[in-house]
């Protein structure tokens, strides 16, 4: 049991470290002076998606990816849609004139996706 827990922890750290290696961030949208970006890393059996909120204002804000709803991702293989997956929404504080990057999460597992896109993901900012 302990060995499984250690292995799971190492795998989670490895996935987070993989996203930390200079991912390419794509602009998603700006809401109330907060720029929201996402990054995707395609692995053989799944994709890893991470989000970040860049706060251009002088006040700390709560940045919600999903705005109380699940995040939905469209999975595409070689230009052909192969389905959708969902992940829980998440919220964190982005400091004044700073940023917060959320840990990466799994998307499109087992779909052989070569591309993953946010699909109508809502953003909410609270001051």
Over 60: is that where the pLDDT of 12 sits? no
Q: Which of 77, 69, 33, 28 is closest to 49 using CA atoms?
A: 28
What's the pTM? 0.82
Q: How far is CA 31 from CA 15, 64, 123, in A?
A: 28, 11, 7
Please state, rounded to an integer, the average pLDDT across all residues of the chain.
Answer: 89
Check if the beta carbon of residue 41 is closer than 8 Å to that of residue 23. Answer: yes
Where would I find the H helices in the chain?
A: 2-20
CATH of 2-126, one of 1.10.10, 1.10.472, 2.60.40, 1.10.8: 2.60.40
- pLDDT 10s digits, 19-58: 446 689 999 999 999 999 999 999 999 999 999 999 999 9
Question: By mean pLDDT, which of 15-19, 56-60, 77-81, 116-120 is the weakest?
Answer: 15-19
The residue ranges of every structural domain in the chain are 2-126
What is the band of 14 on the pLDDT scale with cuts at 50, 70, 90?
very low
CA 21 centroid distance within chain: 15
């Amino acid at each position: 049991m302990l060995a499984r827990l250690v292995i799971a922890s190492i795998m989670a750290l490895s996935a987070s470290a993989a996203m930390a290696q200079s991912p390419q961030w794509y602009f998603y949208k700006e809401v109330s002076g907060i720029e929201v970006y996402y990054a995707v890393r395609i692995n053989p059996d799944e994709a890893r998606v991470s989000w970040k909120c860049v706060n251009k204002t002088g006040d700390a804000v709560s940045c919600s990816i999903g705005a109380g709803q699940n995040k939905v991702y469209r999975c595409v293989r070689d230009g052909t849609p192969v389905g959708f997956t969902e992940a829980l929404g998440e919220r964190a504080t982005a400091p004044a004139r700073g940023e917060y990057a959320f840990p990466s999460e799994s998307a499109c597992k087992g779909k052989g996706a070569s591309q993953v896109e946010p699909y109508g993901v809502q953003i909410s900012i609270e001051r």
